[in-house]
Amino acid sequence: MKKRRILEEIELKVFKRDKFTCQYCGFAGDTFEKWAFLIIDHFIPKSKGGSDEPDNLITSCFLCNFMKGDRRFSDMDEARKEIKEWWNRMRSYYESKVLSQPSLIPNILSNGDSHGNRP
């Protein structure tokens, strides 16, 4: 329990330092619903020798963290460039494959709920 409390304190410091914003894509966790998609990432993955020290921890959204995986980048500029390219490929796929077939897109706004929340 004591170890988890220390980890929570470090996580909160990292979130505050990074202004509750994904350091890869700029996604801002400025509401609870958005903050819930932020996590703490090891910039240098633990599997590649990265530490749990705050200078190796950054705020990331789930999608950027998933795309980054255990890749090791030389610096933040390289990471942001790669992740931006991945986002662009994902957007291109969405626009060419998903939007071209409207039947694939659920009408989540029909109930007036812009977050897709379920009752």
Domains contained in the chain, number: 1
Whether residue 116 is contained in a domain is answered as: no
Taking the C-alpha atoms of residue 24 and residue 85, their distance in angstroms, rounded to an integer, is: 11
Question: Residues in the chain with pLDDT < 50?
Answer: 1, 109, 111-119
Whether residue 109 is contained in a domain is answered as: no
pLDDT at 34: 95
Whether residue 119 is contained in a domain is answered as: no
pLDDT at 51: 92
Q: pTM for the full model?
A: 0.77
Provide the residue range defining the domain that includes 53.
2-104
Whether residue 31 is contained in a domain is answered as: yes
pLDDT at 116: 43
Query: Tell me, what CATH number does 77's domain have?
Result: 1.10.30
pLDDT at 6: 55
Give Cβ neighbours of residue 73 (< 8 Å, ≥ 6 apart).
43, 79, 82
Whether residue 21 is contained in a domain is answered as: yes
Whether residue 115 is contained in a domain is answered as: no
